[in-house]
Amino acid sequence: MSRNKLNEIIGGGKDDDGIWCGVHDLILENKKEEAWNEVETCVIILGNMDRWVLNGGFESYLCMPAGAYCSQAISCLERMNEQLVLQALLAAVSCYPSGFDLDDVDSRQRFVMPKAGVELLRKSNLAYYAHSRKFYEKMRLYIVSHRAELDWINNLK
């Protein structure tokens, strides 16, 4: 009898963040980046963003390798219609001069943030933290509504 691993993750009593992390980890363990579909890309890109923001704020995310996917994170948030996290990310990005390439981590690492930028980053972080639970719920709903694109998970042993 085959197991329905995706249903086990979704309905297994995990909180919204646990569901997202479970799917995130299975994608990373079982598929190469070039094989990710759009849903898998969003789960991974936004999962990595979430981990960096929670561990050091947007300034940490934007200056680390995960920040090289910033433009993709923005696209994923737009596709999901996740306005509050999108606004927080865009506010954080606006702390850098307008000529910065969104995916150029090296330039952001060399940039010396003025006081006004530091304050805007702080406010962006607070907005993200305040909304994170609802964001996790939205990610769970995104995963559930796109389970057909994640059906391969059911074939895992």
pLDDT digits (tens, 9 = 90+) for 18-67: 888 999 999 999 999 999 999 999 999 999 999 999 999 999 999 888 88
Secondary structure (DSSP) of 62-123: HHSGGGGGHHHHHHHHHHHT-HHHHHHHHHHHTTS-TTS-TT-HHHHHH----HHHHHHHHH
For residue 124, the model assigns a pLDDT of 95
Question: Is the pLDDT score of 3 beyond 70?
Answer: no
Give the number of C-alpha atoms closer than 13 A to the C-alpha of residue 48, restricted to the C-beta side: 19
Report DSSP state, residue 14: -
For residue 1, the model assigns a pLDDT of 43
pLDDT digits (tens, 9 = 90+) for 67-119: 889 999 999 999 999 999 999 999 999 988 876 777 788 888 888 888 999 99
For residue 36, the model assigns a pLDDT of 96
Give the number of C-alpha atoms closer than 13 A to the C-alpha of residue 149, restricted to the C-beta side: 16
pLDDT digits (tens, 9 = 90+) for 107-121: 888 888 889 999 999
Q: What is the CATH number of domain 5-151?
A: 1.20.1420
Task: Please indicate, yes or no, whether the overall pTM of this predicted structure exceeds 0.85.
Answer: yes
